[in-house]
Structure 1
């Protein structure tokens, strides 16, 4: 995997086939979490065999849309309460705005899924789509952060330590003695990779803006 770099005015990252498939799958799953369609992933989900990624993300699929206050903490991160201390105000605000917000988020996620569905290793993001893609990456990271229980900087530091321990164990053939959850480590590595990709995409946007300001 290679982060976004500018090429002829376009942000280009490089992902191999497996990396693209995993990121596209989590994007589609977050779209489903928000009540959208599966972005063309339905055929894949109906296959009799299930890949490792299918198993890892199975808990994200099939969650029903609810315009009431959601109970899933991942949805609450995507669609937070406007007035946490006033349930009536929060419910009314959610009723008036949540449909449009969900639609906006699903549209951005669909755009990112379409980018990842192009042939070849390059993930290309046009300048005019960069901020929408960065926002979609934020939504995916919010869902992963919820599943990983990342609420504080200390939680993130703990996850980073767990990943380092897992990588060291694998490098030293001590993975049988690994004292961390392999699924948590896998999701954590995905979270870190998406964070890194988002940072490189934002750097692309900032470089474009700086260049325009100097003109």
Structure 2
């Protein structure tokens, strides 16, 4: 089981993690939370109707990682607009879509990253030396979302655009400063792949 998710009887998934792996995943999840940004203010009144109609940003984020996590809904990088009017319409539709969806997307990604941190913190309470992380079906889906977001974030920093870029990562020399980030990217990919297979079994 080390390093791979396996199904639990009755649903969910389990993976054996050592202390270093726990520390790496937790640190990356905390960094992801910081990147996504805080949620609603602690003292803000809880008005579900106001939250439902709260507007988010209409402009894409400046940070390339956040642009990868929150892409434009109406952009098609493989097809240029046929006219300036079409380009303007795409921009307008993307801005409107972002304005009404990004807050919810951020909340969902924040929720998944927090679920990862909390489950790892619960493992740490059990004692050192690593442990077997056991996740319910809901927790497994939260982990899957967070692992995907972490890989998107790291992939963006590594400027991975397609599969050819990933192939080049395997051939990086050991003294390349990107090597630790590449190793984390590939390792998280393995975790994500086995978790997907576990949830589909």
TM-score (norm 2): 0.75
Out of 127, 138, 141, the position equivalent to 2:137 is 127
CA contact (8 A) 2:13 2:137 kept: yes
Report what 2:150 is aligned to: 140
Question: In 2, Cα distance between the equivalents of 1:157 and 1:75?
Answer: 24
Other structure's SS at 1:13 match: strand
Question: In 2, Cα distance between the equivalents of 1:189 and 1:8?
Answer: 31
Q: Does 1:4 align with 2:5?
A: yes
Runs of 4+ in 1 over 2 A off after TM superposition: 6-10
Aligned residue pair count: 163
Other structure's SS at 2:5 match: strand
**Which of the pair is proportionally richer in helix?**
1
Out of 55, 68, 80, the position equivalent to 1:77 is 68
Question: In 2, Cα distance between the equivalents of 1:8 and 1:152?
Answer: 37
- Show structure 1 runs of 5+ residues with no match: 38-65, 167-177, 208-215
TM-score (norm 1): 0.70
Question: In 2, Cα distance between the equivalents of 1:7 and 1:69?
Answer: 40
Report what 1:202 is aligned to: 196
CA contact (8 A) 2:60 2:71 kept: no
Q: CA deviation at 1:113?
A: 1.4
Superposed CA offset, 1:8-32 (max 9, x none): 3441111111211111111111111
Asked which structure has the greater RCO (Cα within 8 Å, sep 6+), the reply is: 2
Q: How does 1:163-182 map to 2 (within 5 A)?
A: 165-166=173-174, 178=175, 181-182=176-177
Question: In 2, Cα distance between the equivalents of 1:128 and 1:110?
Answer: 13
